[in-house]
Structure 1
Amino acid sequence: MVVMLFSCGEKTEKQPENTPSKEAKTETESKESEKDVILFFGNSLTAGMGLEPSEAFPALIQNRLDSLGYDYEVVNAGLSGETTASGKNRIDWVLKQNVDIFVLELGANDGLRGIPLKETRQNLQDIITIVKTKNPDTQIVLAGMQIPPNMGQDYTSEFKNIFPELADKYDVGLVPFLLEGVAGDPNLNQQDGIHPTAEGYKIVRENVWSVLKDLIDKE
């Protein structure tokens, strides 16, 4: 956030040489007070569909950061129904803000809809490239996903492999399976069997935190 100061009237009194003006000091202090941003870019799993925003895993990550004294701001950019294609279409808008750590959680809706795997891979690859191009210093974490074998074993296996292969290719962080310990457990999922309950999201938080904490330590 840059603070712009406007003064009324004319003031000709000179500042001492090499002494920052009040305006400069204010702008510097404002920049120093900015928090680093962790942006979660995903679908309804990130948005926390069916629950209060405070129960979704990005909010739980924010709580963890606050409790540990980290000066970070978490941004939940999850959008229910998002595919990798629609995510690619809105990524430029999301990146208008400065992002220090970018967590990419997309692909599940592609898999459930049987979208060609080549398209899913390319879209995820393009999003990673766009983020890296926008700011090479942004740390990226890719959230791995798995789907039921409805589309056949070959499709299911190749879908699962997209995430570790891209993480390795682009040297980004990887959450092996976002819903590890949650998927398939009726006690941890809402009635649709897809979206975690509040208790389920506590496990998702730990899955993400196990990777995220190492990147935060590097900041």
Structure 2
Amino acid sequence: MRNLLLLFMFVNFLLITSCKDSQKKENETEISSVAKDTVQTSEDSSVILLFGDSLTAGLGVDPSEAFSALLQSKVDSLNLNYEVANAGLSGETTASGVNRLNWVLDQDVKVIVIELGANDGLRGVPLDETEKNLQKMIDMVREKDSTIKIVLAGMQIPPNMGEQYTTKFKNIFPELAKKNHVYLIPFILENVGGVPQLNQPDGIHPTAEGHKIVAQNVWAVLGKVING
């Protein structure tokens, strides 16, 4: 099994700090030029595609400490013929995810974990837009290959946007999972989000110890998916 090519496009503080317009344009150009080569996998393995933002990308920790690498170690320890492909991109929103998804589906994907929406929530994106984009990504996966198993990663945000917004945001994920009959990770940051010692100084991105718990949260569902 060849090593995955983990190509991360990092931006500072995806949620709290905003990039200047010129920086955004520059990043978008760079993303467009490399997105098709973001993930490379071996031909003899089925792919578990992790499609998300900086949480999936492993921002701020060594690649070997990110939950994607920990999942690969778990898969390997069980002698399962899967390769975990990290298609995380820092700063990704559901809208940009829609634009990027087809580029990373051009491989033998058996399972996709969609981990997007946090950036939308903390930027106050209208909830119907987030829901529409997540639904579009589910539809795109099924149009590409109806046999791909879809896992939707639930997300929650701090109450900064008001109780009504945060509650409705939280409910988007289980409602979409139920509507589309896809697998759901109830809250990917369970026992990590809001715990200072498990997050980096920005209070958003997990530390290496936090990623261990995230990996457990994902495997609790993913393990059943690939072994079911």
Given the alignment, which residue of 113, 123, 142 partners 2:133?
123
TM-superposition CA deviations, 1:162-212 (whole Å, max 9, x none)? 000000011000000000000111110000000000000000001000000
How many equivalent pairs are there? 186
TM-superposition CA deviations, 1:104-139 (whole Å, max 9, x none)? 000000000000000000000000000011000000
Given the alignment, which residue of 153, 159, 162 partners 1:152?
162
Q: Secondary structure at the match of 1:184?
A: coil
Amino acid in structure 1 at the alignment position of 2:127: L
- Residue number in structure 2 paired with 1:53: 63
Identity score, percent: 65
TM-superposition CA deviations, 1:17-44 (whole Å, max 9, x none)? xxxxxxxxxxxxxxxx711100000000
- Residue number in structure 2 paired with 1:6: none
TM-score (norm 2): 0.81
Which structure: larger Rg? 1
Amino acid in structure 1 at the alignment position of 2:125: I
- Residue number in structure 1 paired with 2:200: 190
Asked if 1:97 corresponds to 2:104, the answer is no
CA distance in 1: counterparts of 2:194 and 2:100, whole angstroms:
31
For the aligned residue pairs, the C-alpha RMSD in angstroms reads: 0.8
TM-superposition CA deviations, 1:62-99 (whole Å, max 9, x none)? 00010111111010000000000000001111111121
Amino acid in structure 1 at the alignment position of 2:111: I
- Residue number in structure 2 paired with 1:27: none
CA distance in 1: counterparts of 2:159 and 2:133, whole angstroms:
22
Unmatched tracts of structure 1, length 5 or more = 1-32
- The structure 1 segments of at least 4 consecutive aligned residues displaced by more than 3 Å after TM superposition are none
CA distance in 1: counterparts of 2:139 and 2:68, whole angstroms:
23
CA distance in 2: counterparts of 1:71 and 1:98, whole angstroms:
12
More displaced 10-residue stretch of structure 1: 136-145 or 47-56 = 47-56
Unmatched tracts of structure 2, length 5 or more = 1-42
